[in-house]
Amino acid sequence: MEPPPAFPVSRLQQRDWRNGVLVRMPNWLGDAVMAFPALVQLKKIIPEHCGLFVVCPPGLVELFETMPLVDRVIGLHQAHRMWNRRDIRQINRIQAGVGLMFNNSLRDALGFRLARVPRLFGAAARGRSLLLTRSFHFPPRRDAHLNHLHHCEKYLSLIYALGAPAWRGEVPAFHIAPEKLVAVEPDVRLALDAPYLLTLAAGAAYGGSKRWPATHFNQVARGWIAQGGNVAVLGSAGERTIGTEVLSDLPTEHAFNLAGKTSFSALLALLQHAAFCVANDSGIMHLSAALGGSGLAVFGPTDPSATCPISSRWSVVFEKQPCSPCFKRECPDGDARCMTAIPASQVIQRMQRQLEDGF
């Protein structure tokens, strides 16, 4: 990863923090995971009597509740809406002295101000700089080029500007309460107990252009099962049909479609249990890497230099096309050649090399 922009450092005084700092996390799982290193470094500069409070959409509350690093999680009523009175009251009652924004929302900046958070920091975006105590300018993204500034480094640059030390690769710990895994569905339990488990993230919430063909995932799964392994497809309820396509004609006793069936606690447990993960550029890819898992990611319309997994145990397959990365939700040409150019055999060979090398 390239170093982030070096913004002038302006350290806060102890009194400035009041009861702590509120961090508005990104709405997407993958972006939120890429901000984990910044949370780790932020914790190091918060005075002892202060808390680290996360503000996030309702769908990410359980994830942050598994992180001992976070003192309290405030779930907004909706991800992409103006804060309601309940949201504003919850945040105001904390009496935090600092708000830090890892998203680009003008709406959320206004919400922080309505909640009377006195100091607010974030990227200059969408005309919100007048609402921020200090705003930070980043170079614009260039389509069809590799941009070479990782999102993780962008989040870290904000923390460095407040005086945090350089990140040395630490990731936050996770604690899964045992009771969270007691009532899981039977096939989730079977997958948690299955030896030599391969997890597949064949969907991508961003859009269809990021999806490597289901038939290619099927070939990967088929080869894994032939070698004595088990396979679980992970994802949201909306990706269950994709899971069915991926596992088509595979033995049901070794192939589990868990899309839409896992809580965050169960998802964390499955990723920790898995021997390997193959994924599109997705939140599950980032989460597996953050948990220390091994895996391989298939990239096409998005930029691996900006959003690759933050782990030496992961590798990336990317066959650049003249139009990629285009960042489109659906392929404008309709052929998704940046993804179809990557055959299943190439991914299987890379997997084998990684497994032989012990990562």
251-308 per-position pLDDT tens digit: 999 999 999 999 999 999 999 999 999 999 999 999 999 999 999 999 999 999 999 9
Do 149 and 185 lie in a common domain?
Answer: no
Q: Position of tokens 């069915």?
A: 244
Helix/strand/coil for 96 = strand
Count the helix, strand and coil residues of the chain and give each as a percent rounded to the nearest 5. 40, 15, 45
- Banded model confidence at residue 141, pLDDT cuts 50, 70, 90: confident
pLDDT at 64 over 70: yes
Last residue of a domain, one of 110, 131, 160: 160
Distance between CA atoms of 192 and 194, rounded to whole angstroms? 6
For residues 156 and 192, membership in a common domain is answered with no
Tell me the mean pLDDT in the region 69-81.
Answer: 96
Are residue 101 and residue 138 in the same domain, yes or no?
A: yes
Kindly report the average pLDDT of the chain as a whole number.
Answer: 95
Mean of the pLDDT values across residues 53-80? 97
User: What is the pLDDT, as a whole number, of residue 245?
Assistant: 97
Report whether 24 contacts 99 (CB < 8 A): yes
From edge to edge, which strands make up the β-sheet containing 255-257? 255-257, 230-233, 197-201, 276-280, 295-299, 314-318
Q: What is the pLDDT of residues 150-168, one digit of tens each?
A: 999 999 999 999 999 999 9
Whether residue 234 is predicted with pLDDT greater than 70 in this model: the reply is yes
Name residues whose C-beta falls within 8 Å of residue 85's C-beta, 6 or more positions apart in sequence.
none
**Cross-strand bridge partners of residue 192:** none
Q: Phi and psi of 181, rounded to 5°?
A: -105, 5
30 and 97 both lie in a single domain: yes
State the pLDDT at residue 25. 98
Quick one: average pLDDT of 71-86?
A: 96
The answer on pLDDT for 1 being more than 70 is: no
Is the same domain home to 218 and 347?
A: yes
User: What SS3 state is found at 112?
Assistant: helix
Domain count, the chain: 2
Enclosing domain of residue 215 = 178-357
pLDDT for residue 147:
82
Q: Check whether 2 has a pLDDT greater than 70.
A: no
Q: How is the beta sheet containing 119-123 ordered, strand by strand?
A: 72-75, 51-56, 20-24, 98-101, 119-123, 134-136
Q: What are phi and psi of 48, to 5 degrees?
A: -60, -35
Residues 72 and 192 in one domain: no
Nearest to 230 by CA among 257, 253, 212: 253
Residue-wise pLDDT tens digits, 14-57? 999 999 999 999 999 999 999 999 999 999 999 999 999 999 99
User: What's the chain's Rg over C-alpha atoms?
Assistant: 21
| Same domain for 197 and 337 | yes
Based on the fold, state whether residues 125 and 264 are members of the same structural domain: no
Amino acid identity for residue 320 in this structure: K
Q: pLDDT (tens digit, 9 = 90+) per residue, 43-53?
A: 999 999 999 99
**171 within domain boundaries:** no
Condensed to tens digits (0 to 9), the pLDDT of residues 312-352 reads 999 999 999 999 999 999 999 888 999 999 999 999 999 99
Distances (CA, A) of 16 to 65, 134, 186: 26, 14, 50
256 in a structural domain: yes
Alpha-carbon gap, residue 251 to 330, rounded angstroms: 32
CATH number of the domain that 87 lies in? 3.40.50.2000
Q: Are residues 194 and 308 located together in one domain of the fold?
A: yes
User: What whole-number percentage of the chain has pLDDT above 90?
Assistant: 91
Chain centre distance of CA 299: 15
Q: Determine, yes or no, domain membership for 24.
A: yes
Predicted confidence at residue 87, as pLDDT, reads 98
Which residues have C-beta within 8 Å of that of residue 285, sequence separation ≥ 6? 30, 201, 277, 279, 295, 297, 309, 314
CA distances from 309 to 1, 6, 159, 297, 340 (A): 11, 23, 20, 8, 21
CA–CA gap between residue 53 and residue 80 (Å, rounded) = 20
Express each pLDDT in 169-205 by its tens digit.
Answer: 999 999 999 999 998 999 999 999 999 999 999 997 7
Look at residue 145 and tell me whether its pLDDT is greater than 90.
Answer: no
Final residue before a domain boundary, out of 113, 130, 160: 160
